[in-house]
Amino acid sequence: MTNSDTLHKQDPTLTAAWNKLTDHFQDMKDVSMAKMFAEDSKRAKDFALELEEVLFLDYSKNLINGKTMALLSDLAEELDLKDGIDKMFAGKLINETEGRAVLHTALRAPRSAHIEVYGENVVPKVQEVLARMKDFVGLFDDKKWKGYTGKDITDFVNIGIGGSDLGPVMVCEALTPFHHPDRKVHFVSNVDGAHIEQTLAALDPETTLFIIASKTFTTIETMTNAHSAREWFLEGASQNDVKKHFVALSTNIDAAVAFGIGEENIFEFWDWVGGRYSLSSAIGLSILVAIGADHFSGLLSGMHWMDNHFRSAPPLENIPVVLALLGIWYSNFHGCETEAILPYDQNLRYLPSYLQQASMESNGKMVTRAGSEVSYETGSIIWGDAGTNSQHSFFQLLHQGTRLIPCDFLLPAIPNHSLDHHHTLLAANAFAQCEALMTGKSADQVKLELAQSGKTDEAMDQLLPFKVFDGNRPSNMILLKRLTPFSLGAIIAMYEHKIFVQGYIWNIFSFDQFGVELGKALAKDLAPELTGSAKSEMHDASTNQLVAKFKSLKSN
């Protein structure tokens, strides 16, 4: 690896911009958003960005002013963010700990693009796999792929975990209105036997096809579920029939063939595709099955459209960069630990879970690119749920809790259903929650309401502290014209690039995930102990005790 391939290894806290932001925070920590709106009639327009009526970001309800954003932009410039973006898109080996490029953007690049990794243009290979995926799905469109008894395949089960599950699940649910009417896609991820058993109970082996999604074909949860699915299938079929009912998304061709999958039904992806960024690769086969080739192309086009915006727009006109800088402002200067993702669209209910992995597995790091311990916070805790359900769940804490929690609201203007009066109420709730988070409710307002309801002075004094909330809590509103494959692709890429920018500025490696490996290794050692008769003595006292108690409860 040459020096030109590496990202900066500069401590962001030592930059001039960071020091200026630290001073600026003292001026901003007690600022009132409501007052800033009252004093600046252009605030809403100045802190909003729109991309071709597809996506509109209003970030005016944040604890910022023009100087805040200018200093955050200076931070990005001082750390040469543009250089980092260019290196990622060019296929430089910026995932240094694993010696890999980071090129999920190449998965949705046009056929005419030229992107080199190890001196080879990867675009033709990407296009070849994409064409094979579309041809594969075309066989079902044309009723040319039959099950082992000659029946049409009606149900598809994606077996994967992590990035091989969360992205496809989220997209398939989000694009439910665009699903092919004759195909049902199911997902199994958890090694808990309830997941695979309950899924199979509703299926017919003669009309079911399994998609085994594992890059190495060794992931223990995925392969345990895959073998259980194959055992279920073989109760009435032969080993030769496996080829008609199982396909693989993997680089381990030998293992997939040994499982019984035909080599022509193994779809490849590459080591420069990270699992949590892989839904636009062969890992998205279940998505393509669900929504068809045209809509899948629309999804990729939306991602590429956002890629181009991210790569070319100046920092303060760049939606992923603005979102990333706001996150840094809250995490590193306001001391916020979490961010809430609040999609006001029932079909987007899995977006928070998807972004949990994308963000927390990427930026949950405690050492810098130079290998030293960080002296500042990295990696926000991402959580959330769909509105309006979430309003009746955790919004109490957002409004009156002791923590400051920045929120992203997402809302389409046009629904994918015919009940427009429902959507009007949904939108009213989304806008009202943003407004309430900002304005709160003052003591004077509460007193007036209580007086109008006929409360006595004594009752008013008792209730007053419980009904006041201070507001001044930040939120972004992300408006879509409509939730379509294209706009969903844009949203996914937007958050991918937000994550990259934050990791880049925090001077951490966002594209490895060594932190999840230790538990997996220990589990492999523990599993035999849970079924054997030998007393467990190789762990800490607590774990040894738990193993013994588990075995005792199970045997009795």
Domain identity same for 85 and 43: yes
383: amino acid identity, one letter: W
Are 491 and 55 in contact by the 8 Å Cβ rule? The answer is yes
Domain identity same for 320 and 419: yes
Q: What is the pTM of this model?
A: 0.96
Domain identity same for 364 and 490: yes
Q: What is the average per-residue pLDDT within 158-187?
A: 97
How is residue 515 written in tokens? 């932190």
Q: How many CB atoms lie within 10 A of CB 4?
A: 9
Are 27 and 104 in contact by the 8 Å Cβ rule? The answer is no
Q: Note whether residue 458 is domain-resident.
A: no
Report the CATH number that the domain containing residue 493 is assigned in CATH. Answer: 3.40.50.10490
The catalytic residues are 361, 392, 520
pLDDT value of position 520: 84
Domain identity same for 527 and 506: no
59: amino acid identity, one letter: Y
Domain identity same for 500 and 352: yes
The range of the structural domain enclosing residue 342 comes to 3-92+313-439+474-512
Domain identity same for 162 and 229: yes
Q: Does the pLDDT of residue 391 top 70, yes or no?
A: yes
Q: d(Cα 470, Cα 480) in Å, to the nearest integer?
A: 30
Q: Note whether residue 139 is domain-resident.
A: yes
Q: d(Cα 268, Cα 252) in Å, to the nearest integer?
A: 9
Are 298 and 489 in contact by the 8 Å Cβ rule? The answer is yes
Strand positions, DSSP E, 14-103 = 48-51, 55-58
Q: At what angle do helices 16-28 and 66-78 cross, to 10 degrees?
A: 160
Q: Report strand pairing: 55-58 vs 475-482.
A: antiparallel
Q: d(Cα 340, Cα 381) in Å, to the nearest integer?
A: 8
Nearest to 347 by CA among 175, 184, 165: 175
The model's pLDDT over 124-163, given as tens digits with 9 standing for 90+, comes to 999 999 999 999 999 999 999 999 999 999 999 999 999 9
Q: Which residues pair with 188 in a beta bridge?
A: 159
pLDDT value of position 534: 66
The model's pLDDT over 246-256, given as tens digits with 9 standing for 90+, comes to 999 999 999 99
Domain identity same for 41 and 188: no
Q: Note whether residue 105 is domain-resident.
A: no
What percentage of the chain reaches a pLDDT higher than 90? 94
* DSSP type of residue 404: -
Q: Does the pLDDT of residue 4 top 70, yes or no?
A: no
Domain-ending residue, one of 291, 321, 338: 291
Domain identity same for 504 and 430: yes
Three-class DSSP category at 309: helix
Report the CATH number that the domain containing residue 531 is assigned in CATH. Answer: 1.10.1390.10
The model's pLDDT over 251-274, given as tens digits with 9 standing for 90+, comes to 999 999 999 999 999 999 999 999
210: amino acid identity, one letter: F
Contacts with 165 (C-beta within 8 Å, 6 or more apart), sequence order:
158, 187, 189, 213
Domain identity same for 246 and 326: no
| Number of domains making up the chain | 3
Strand positions, DSSP E, 116-181 = 116-117, 120-121, 155-159
Domain identity same for 268 and 329: no
Q: Note whether residue 121 is domain-resident.
A: no
Residue 244 phi/psi, 5° resolution? -85, -5
Domain identity same for 140 and 226: yes
